[in-house]
Structures are given as structure tokens and as C-alpha cells.
Amino acid sequence: MIYNVAQLMKSTVGTSLTADIQEEELQFNEEDLRLVGPANGHVRMRRINQGLLIDGWVDVSAEMTCTRCLKQFNQPLHVTFEEHFYPTMDVITGVPLPPSDEEDVFPIDDHHQVDLTEAVRQAILLAIPMVTLCKEDCAGLCARCGHDLNLGPCNCEPEVDTRLSALKSLLQNEQLS
């Protein structure tokens, strides 16, 4: 996801450029973020005063583990992003520029290229919910034998609330005395 923005950096503020995002495969050096299949989307780059405002979206499919039944499944995600990119070098003079004092900005490198990979990676991480379920009504695993309750009930005795049964025997004892 690398785009050359030399022309755009020479253009007047407000000029914009659009491009399709078409990645056969998107890989990140991160164990808990695995994507499956291609990533397709669209990006818009706009010349602003100090650099570029880049926004867009990408559709990906992420491999996830169900929070309840621990099964692996693929979750399609529609991810949007919007980031500022600042030049590290003046596009006309080639003079290195001081780093931006703004936080969370991405660099336009000294070949006048932007790489969207990190911005997209961060957007995907934000799009992944805290609780990931293989299906909304996933029955999960039996807490005692580990049986996948989506496949039907197991042979374990139904759970008895221990506090309730303690109360029950207490009441029974009182009736006896």
C-alpha cells in the first residue's frame, strides 16, 4: 500500500487524488492479527497546508478466535481510516524538513511516498471488538468437561448453585429441630 505523492505535494492546497486499494494479501508482523484473503478498498489523498490528509476504507477478513467456544473463524471487517501525513523532505528543494510537532502523524518518506500499511493496521485493530463471537448465540463450552455446547448438550449434571443448596439444607435443618 505504497503510493507516490510527489505530484500531489507540488499541487495547490485542496487538490486531491484517489486510488483503489487492491492487495492480494496483507500481512502484519503481529501474531494476534491474521488476515485471510485479499484486502480491497479506496483511498483519497488531499493536499492540505502542511502535508496530506489521507482517508479511505478497506474491506478485510480477519482470523479470530471465538471468546466463548475458542473456535477459529473469519470475520469480515469494513475498516475506515483518516490520518495526516507530513513530508520529511521538501518536494521542490530536497531539503530535509524538521519533524512535525503534531502527534500521531505519519511520514511522507524522502522518495515522496506514503505507506498506508501502519495506518490501516491501527484501524483494523480498533475495528476488532473486545468480545469476538463465532455467532451471536454461541453456546460456548461446558465449564466442566469442555464439550462444545453448540454441538448439543454434554453428559454433565446440570449446574447447581452452591449458595442456594447451602441455604436449602440450612432451612431443612431448622425445620428438623
Contact positions vs Zn ion (CB under 5 A)? 66, 68-69, 134, 138, 142, 144-145, 147, 154, 156
The answer to whether 131 touches 68, Cβ cutoff 8 Å, is no
Of the two residues 32 and 110, which places its CB atom closer to Zn ion in the complex? 32
- Closest distance of CB 127 from Zn ion, Å: 20
Nearer to Zn ion, 99 or 153 (CB): 153
CB of 70 to Zn ion, least distance (A): 7
Q: Is the dihedral of CA 28, 32, 36, 40 positive or negative?
A: negative
Q: Which amino acid is at 145?
A: C
Decide whether 11 or 74 has the Cβ nearer to Zn ion: 74
- Residue closer to Zn ion, measured from CB, 60 or 66: 66
Distances (CA, A) of 116 to 32, 45, 85, 91: 20, 11, 10, 19
Provide the minimum distance between the beta carbon of 151 and Zn ion in the complex, in angstroms, as a whole number.
Answer: 11
50-65 burial, b at 16+ Cβ within 10 Å, e below that, comes to: ebbbbebbbebbbebe
By C-beta, is 92 or 131 nearer to Zn ion? 131
* Beta strands at 72-87 and 106-108: parallel, antiparallel or unpaired: parallel
- In Å, how far are 41, 62, 71 from 37, measured between CA atoms? 13, 9, 19
- Give me the least distance between CB of 85 and Zn ion, in Å please: 39
Q: Are 39 and 74 in contact (CB under 8 A)?
A: no
